[in-house]
Amino acid sequence: MTRDLTHGGAIDQMRMAYPNAPEPWIDLSTGINPWPYPRTDLSPASLAHLPTTAMYEACREAMASALGVAPGMLLLSPGSELLIRLLPDIIHPRRIAILSPTYGDHAMAWERVGAEIIHTPDPLSYSDRVDAIVLCHPNNPDGRLFDLDSLEATRQKLAASGGWLIIDEAYADLVPTQSLASKGGADGLIILRSFGKFFGLAGVRLGAILAPAPIRKAMRKRLGVWPVSGSALEIGARAYADADWQVRTRKRLHAAATELDVALKAAGLSLTGGTDLFRLVETEDAHAVFHRLATTGVYVRRFEGSSTHLRIGLPATSEAQARLLNALTL
């Protein structure tokens, strides 16, 4: 499988696969804010010294305040992807219902340990038949949201039998009112958070897990003494404390996504979902459209399991959006 089918973001591989495509490439294959948090200047200490406890606590407290949860419920990590990989070494559900379609690495992590996986569009209905339910909220790639009361009822039912509701909230900064983070630490609930998507700084590698104390303790042992870099801690503390930037950015992303909708509809694509960082579209031959766009230096997200869907991120400029529209209407 090529890397673009796995995650997107493989711009180096795309350049090799399409050497005649015009530069600069427009990478719309990832759901990452194209207007990143700007205050990324670093103190010399963040690079020259090992991360201190004070730096860790400052970042954790800022994140906890932004999420509306006690800092003690949070364990910081170098992104959420590693947490997805490590969870099967800490909890051991035998039968898992996973929302489908969704981010594929969740299923890959549980398949590695031999868990029985049920792929379903209605995972909550399995709460009395499985040991764990896994979903992204908002979902990737269709942006689906669940009723919060239903999620809480499912959490309680699973917890009563020793089970787990695992929620990947990688895109929840877009819609904070739809997050269950305020219940972080509750029995049967594991929440994964990601910094890079909403703040547009995926290379910083910062995330967190909200979970009961035994899960946090076991995860801490696996992450080691200095799990997050000093630069990530410094930038994270600053960004999570900047509430004004977060409010402005949500408005900006919503306006840009609405403008992208107009362009996609004008190109004859059918909108089937998404978030304010990406749109999911349906077209008759998605892989052919992907190839046509790639020849013009426009990189979108295609899916191995679907020949009719593409995910398209937000163009950073009006020029980039014009190139996308021109490529779609060739």
What pLDDT, on a 0 to 100 scale, did the predictor assign at position 322?
Answer: 95
What pLDDT, on a 0 to 100 scale, did the predictor assign at position 35?
Answer: 98
What is the C-alpha to C-alpha distance for residues 309 and 281, in angstroms, rounded to an integer? Answer: 6
The rounded mean pLDDT for the chain is 96
* pLDDT tens digits, one per residue of 115-159: 999 999 999 999 999 999 999 999 999 999 999 999 999 999 999
Q: Per-domain residue ranges for the chain? A: 3-36+245-328, 44-241
Average pLDDT over residues 9-32: 96
pLDDT above 80 (res 213): yes
Helix, strand, coil distribution of the chain in percent, nearest 5: 45, 20, 35
What pLDDT, on a 0 to 100 scale, did the predictor assign at position 3?
Answer: 66
User: Could you tell me the fold of the domain covering 44-241?
Assistant: Aspartate Aminotransferase; domain 2 (3.40.640)
The percent of residues in the chain predicted with pLDDT above 70, rounded, is 99
* Burial of residue 76, with CB atoms counted within 10 A of its CB: 0-12 exposed, 13-18 middle, 19 or more buried: buried
Average pLDDT over residues 322-327: 96
Omega of the bond leading into 24 within 30 degrees of 0 (cis): yes
What is the C-alpha to C-alpha distance for residues 90 and 94, in angstroms, rounded to an integer? Answer: 13
Average pLDDT over residues 268-291: 96
* pLDDT tens digits, one per residue of 226-258: 999 999 999 999 999 999 999 999 999 999 999
Query: How sure is the predictor about 305, in pLDDT bands with cuts at 50, 70 and 90?
Result: confident
pLDDT above 80 (res 49): yes
User: Could you tell me the fold of the domain covering 3-36+245-328?
Assistant: Aspartate Aminotransferase, domain 1 (3.90.1150)
What pLDDT, on a 0 to 100 scale, did the predictor assign at position 161?
Answer: 97
- What's phi and psi for 278, nearest 5 deg? -160, 160
What is the C-alpha to C-alpha distance for residues 158 and 283, in angstroms, rounded to an integer? Answer: 39
What pLDDT, on a 0 to 100 scale, did the predictor assign at position 7?
Answer: 84
pLDDT above 90 (res 75): yes
**No. of helices (H) and no. of strands (E), the chain:** 13, 13
pLDDT above 80 (res 327): yes
Average pLDDT over residues 175-200: 98
Q: Do domains 3-36+245-328 and 44-241 have the same CATH topology?
A: no
What pLDDT, on a 0 to 100 scale, did the predictor assign at position 330?
Answer: 82
What pLDDT, on a 0 to 100 scale, did the predictor assign at position 1?
Answer: 53
What pLDDT, on a 0 to 100 scale, did the predictor assign at position 170?
Answer: 98
From the CB of residue 14, how many other CB atoms can be counted at a distance below 10 Å?
22
* pLDDT tens digits, one per residue of 82-121: 999 999 999 999 999 999 999 999 999 999 999 999 999 9
